[in-house]
A and B are shown apart, each in its own frame.
Chain A
Amino acid sequence: MHYRWKTGMLAWVLFRITGLALVAYLAMHIMVISKLHDPAKFNKTMDFLGSWQFRMLELGLFAVVVYHSLNGVRIFLVDFFNASVHQARIFWTLAVVGLILFSAGAYPMISHAMYWKDVQSGRGSHAILQKASTDNCCPGQVEVTAHKSCDDCAAKEGK
């Protein structure tokens, strides 16, 4: 007797791995956010986590979420709607659905990432940057400094 690498087996292994990854992420997520009661600290951390590099990493998280969700839907259908005979076909149908959903969600996420990539590299004259400049009395700043306070800028300019 030997194992055959079939759809259900592949789906199960990936489901287990993505599930454990999401639990680890959830624990980390709760701990990180819980330490951000102070507004300045919150915004400083979010400047870092909102960088385009982190935003691209979040696509990986999104992919894991989409896979785990849709395979969950498949299990739901198999268990509650007696669809076990069709489980392989359901898997590949949902794979197509997943690809569409991932693309639809990834598009705005990548757009945001590319916007912040420009901001981080100092290119372009972005509305938010100008808004941040006036809000925080730091005219013409080009880094991701949307949340820098006046004090930060004053200190930087030696005022």
Chain B
Amino acid sequence: MSERERGLGSGGAFGWFFQRITGAILLITLLGHFWVLHFFPPDHGAITYESVMQRLSHPLWRTFDLLFLVFGLYHGMNGVTLVIHDYVSSKGWRMALVGTLWVAAVFFLLIGSMTILGLAGGKA
């Protein structure tokens, strides 16, 4: 396999390195996410529109949730890319799958950030 073929659609060294960096960041953001929504939310863990709005009204929490979304999506999609590279040997199929995957990632990024920012600036 030529160098050029091998590099197609795989993040290469960049993907390898940032999978570890984003993983380390997710360790912190995921813990924070579980902390406020599963371990210690007030009222016996009842998640209400009001409680979420109150948290998201703080810019730092909005930033936290956005970072969690961006790194989570990147890490997840990059991970699936690695799986595709392991099992799909046809170059065409691989490109198509990896391409579809990143379109999906952008879609989820848009929907997700609209939710975080929309909820925060919403009616209530």
Given A46-B48, A146-B46, answer yes or no on A73-B27 (Cβ-Cβ < 8 Å).
yes
Complex Cα–Cα for A115 and B43 (A):
10
Chain A, interface SS category: helix
B59 within 8 A of A: no
> Is the CB–CB distance between A146 and B48 below 8 Å?
yes
Known A37-B119, A43-B48, A76-B23: A23·B80 in contact at CB below 8 Å: yes
Distance in Å: Cβ of B78 to nearest Cβ of chain A = 10
Contact A43–B40 (Cβ < 8 Å) = no
* Complex Cα spacing A34 to B107, Å: 12
Q: Which of A31, A76, A105, A128 sits near B38, CB closer than 8 Å? A: A105
The answer to whether B55 has its CB under 8 Å from any CB of chain A is no
B114 within 8 A of A: yes
> What is the number of residues of chain A that contact chain B, defined by CB distance less than 8 Å?
41
Q: Is A116 close to B, CB under 8 A? A: yes
* Most A Cβ at <10 Å: residue of B46, B80, B118, B124: B46
Interface status of B99 (Cβ within 8 A of chain A): no
Inter-subunit contact B30/A30 (CB<8 Å): no
Which A residues are within 8 Å of any B CB, using their own CB?
Answer: 16, 19-20, 22-23, 26-27, 30-31, 33-34, 36-37, 39, 42-43, 46, 49-50, 55, 58, 62, 65, 69, 72-73, 75-76, 79-80, 105, 108-109, 111-112, 115-116, 126, 128, 146-147
